[in-house]
Every structure is written in structure tokens, then in C-alpha cells.
């Protein structure tokens, strides 16, 4: 270095991480923790489809009428906050973080997210959020590695047995009673089938994604695994 000056420490290049997988595999918990640990932004794309669904329900749109959903899709203004310590979502300026988690929204979101016009709009929004994340971002969903960010630096596909996923979800919602567990398992399998079977950008593992089966792993182990994979990518860049 000329003049014996200390070289300025350059910030690591922005890294884009795509985390996909079915419900209850640990995408949200893992993505938030990895983003927080590495100083990256975080985007929950499922929350955006849920917000779109909530808006449709609130505005009296029949979510089984794909043409009506397609026509209305451009109306709501969705804004996602990308701080992993405090992720937010608003619809037309109103906080939607509570209402998007209801059973009503959960049971209808797959119908709305299957509508191509909805996906086009939401995908554009997701790409613009990712492009604006100066230090990089962890984006979680169903089609991030395959469609939204096919050039992501690292793609992870999380899996877990239906039993493990239902137990995790059921523990969140209703406690551990057997009837609740069975109902949660059925609803989860039905939503996976709808999300995997739709024509437009279905839930799928990208060819170059790293698959991590979380069935027998603790959340902490999954987080450590993903952080290590990101650090390896950065070191190799």
C-alpha cells in the first residue's frame, strides 16, 4: 500500500440467499436468524401472498374466481419492511401482520397465489426489494430459487417429514392434542399439493439448490448450517 496507509476494510459484497420449501420446514425462523446474524435484509414472500389474499377477502373478491382476482390484483399497495428483527407488512398503509395469519387467510392463500397476474406483480415487487438491499438479503418462499431470483448466490431448499412439520405448526396453534395435530397435518398436505401442483412457478427445488432435511435437526443446527454455507460462498467469491 502506498504511503504505508492502512488499507480501508471493504464491506463484503452483497449476498443474495434464496430459501424455499414447504410449510413448517423452518424457512421463516431460519431466514430471520441468518439475516440478523449476517447483517442482511430479510423478505418473507409468503406474507406478501397472504396480504394480497387478506385484501381480496376484505374487499369481497371471490378468491375461487381467478379472473376476478386477476383484475383486482393491481389495486392493493403492499409494502414489506425488511429488518429481520422487526419484519413488517402493510396493505394500503395499514398494518396487516396480524390479519394475514388467520386460518381464513391460510386456507385461501393457495388459490390467490396460483393466479398468474398475482404472481407477476408480486414477483416484480420481490425483485425490486432484493435489488435495493445494499448489504444483501435472505428471501424465503416457494419459487425464489427457481423464478424470482434464479441468480441468487446461494439457494437452500428446506424439507422435513409431514409429521415433524405438523407437530411444529400444531404446537404454534393449538397445543399438542391429537385431533389438532391431524387437522393441521391434513391442511398442510393440502396446501403443499396446491402450491406444488399449480402451473405458474410452483413450489419446487431449483437444480442448484442445497437440500437440507430439518426433520432431525434443531432450529439452531439449521441456522448454523445455512450461516456456514453463506460464509463458504463469500469466501469463495
Ligand X SMILES: Nc1ccn([C@@H]2O[C@H](COP(=O)(O)OP(=O)(O)O)[C@@H](O)[C@H]2O)c(=O)n1
With CB under 5 to 8 Å by kind, the binding choice for 137 among ligand ADP, ligand X, none is none
Q: Which of 15, 16, 20, 25 binds ligand ADP (CB under 6 A)?
A: 25
DSSP classification of residue 133: -
Q: Who contacts 88 (Cβ-Cβ below 8 Å, separation ≥6)?
A: 79, 80, 81, 95, 97
CA 218-233-120 angle, 5° bins: 85
| CB count in 10 Å sphere of residue 76 | 18
Could you say which DSSP state residue 4 is in? G
Of 27-35, 54-62, 98-106, 147-155, the window that binds ligand ADP (rule: CB under 6 A) is 27-35
Q: What is the largest CA-CA distance in the chain?
A: 73
Quick check: 152 binds ligand X (CB under 6 A)?
no
174 scored as a contact of ligand ADP (CB under 6 A):
no
**Residue 82 near residue 34 (C-beta atoms within 8 A):** no
- Residue with Cβ nearer ligand ADP (61 or 84): 84
Cβ at position 39, least distance to ligand X in Å: 23
Q: Is 27 in the site for ligand ADP (CB under 6 A)?
A: yes
29 is a contact residue toward ligand ADP (CB under 6 A): yes
Q: Which of 80, 113, 146, 184 binds ligand X (CB under 6 A)?
A: 113
Options 15, 33, 214, 230; binder of ligand ADP; rule CB under 6 A: 214
Q: With the C-alpha atoms ordered 83, 85, 87, 88, is the resulting torsion angle positive or negative?
A: negative
| Residues facing 156 on adjacent strands | 19, 210
Examine residue 137 and tell whether it contacts ligand X (CB under 6 A).
no
Binding mask 37-56 for ligand X (x = CB under 6 A): --------xxx-xx------
**Cβ-contact 204, 196 below 8 angstroms:** yes
Tell whether residue 171 is among the known ligand binding residues: no
- Binding site annotation covers 197? no
Q: What does the alpha-carbon distance between residue 35 and residue 143 come to, in Å, rounded to a whole number?
A: 19
* Residues in the annotated binding site for ATP: 21-29
- The binding site for ligand X (CB under 6 A) comprises 23, 28, 45-47, 49-50, 109-110, 113, 141-144, 191, 195
Amino acid at each position: 500500500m502506498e504511503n504505508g496507509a492502512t488499507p480501508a476494510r471493504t464491506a463484503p459484497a452483497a449476498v443474495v440467499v434464496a430459501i424455499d420449501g414447504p410449510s413448517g420446514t423452518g424457512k421463516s425462523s431460519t431466514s430471520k436468524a441468518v439475516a440478523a446474524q449476517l447483517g442482511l435484509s430479510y423478505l418473507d414472500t409468503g406474507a406478501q401472498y397472504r396480504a394480497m389474499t387478506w385484501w381480496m377477502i376484505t374487499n369481497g373478491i371471490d378468491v375461487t374466481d381467478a379472473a376476478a382476482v386477476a383484475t383486482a390484483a393491481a389495486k392493493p399497495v403492499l409494502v414489506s419492511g425488511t429488518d429481520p428483527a422487526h419484519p413488517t407488512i402493510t396493505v394500503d398503509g395499514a398494518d396487516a401482520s396480524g390479519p394475514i395469519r388467520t386460518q381464513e387467510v391460510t386456507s385461501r392463500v393457495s388459490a390467490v397465489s396460483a393466479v398468474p397476474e398475482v404472481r407477476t406483480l408480486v414477483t416484480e415487487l420481490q425483485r425490486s426489494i432484493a435489488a435495493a438491499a445494499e448489504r444483501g438479503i435472505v428471501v424465503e418462499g416457494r419459487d425464489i430459487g427457481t423464478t424470482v431470483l434464479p441468480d441468487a448466490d446461494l439457494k437452500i431448499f428446506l424439507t422435513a417429514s409431514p409429521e415433524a412439520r405438523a407437530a411444529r405448526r400444531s404446537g404454534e396453534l393449538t397445543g399438542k392434542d391429537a385431533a389438532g395435530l391431524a387437522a393441521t397435518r391434513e391442511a398442510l398436505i393440502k396446501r403443499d399439493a396446491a402450491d406444488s401442483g399449480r402451473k405458474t412457478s410452483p413450489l419446487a427445488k431449483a437444480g442448484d439448490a442445497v437440500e437440507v432435511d430439518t426433520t432431525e435437526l434443531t432450529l439452531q443446527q439449521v441456522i448454523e448450517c445455512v450461516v456456514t454455507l453463506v460464509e463458504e460462498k463469500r469466501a469463495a467469491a
